[in-house]
Amino acid sequence: VTYNLHLMLRFELELALFRDELDVSDLPNAWDAAMEKHLGVRPDSDANGVLQDMHWSIGIQGYFPTYTLGTIYSAAFFAKAREDLGDLDEEFRNGDTQRLLGWLREHIHSQAYRYPSKELAKHVLDEPISAKPLLAYLGGKYSELYGIEL
């Protein structure tokens, strides 16, 4: 659940770096402060904080929001597949993903080269892409799991 908050934090800090609002030398402290502010935890070391993955250390910046976009698209497409195909849980429990794979091949894989992402989503979903399916999924899963109302 917190992964998208982690991505938001990374992107906020990247923007500050790109805009010369933050020096690289101040990044570890800024990371720790942002983790505490957004997630309520403070890393015990730079290895578990700002350096926990290799992206920045090898010069890869600017694309973290695409991970969240992928999560939003996948949740919306999966919700649509369930709407079209019905309950898939028993098949998944048996290791059978064929009906979902067929749906993906028909609606996504064979069409993705034809449309930009937003157009593909509108074509498949019959409405613009939205975070609502992701939020519904997270709410349904974690409300029950933790006994909380979201």
CB under 8 Å to 17, separation ≥6 — which residues? Answer: 24, 27, 61
Answer whether 28's CB lies under 8 Å from 56's CB: no
Q: What type of residue is 56? A: W
Confidence of residue 105 (pLDDT cuts 50, 70, 90): very high
pLDDT in tens, 47-74: 999 988 888 778 888 888 899 999 999 9
Look up residue 103 and give its two tokens: 């749906």
End-to-end CA, the chain? 13
pTM across the whole model = 0.82
Query: How much is the CA Rg of the chain, to the nearest whole Å?
Result: 19
Of residues 142 and 86, the one with the higher pLDDT is 86
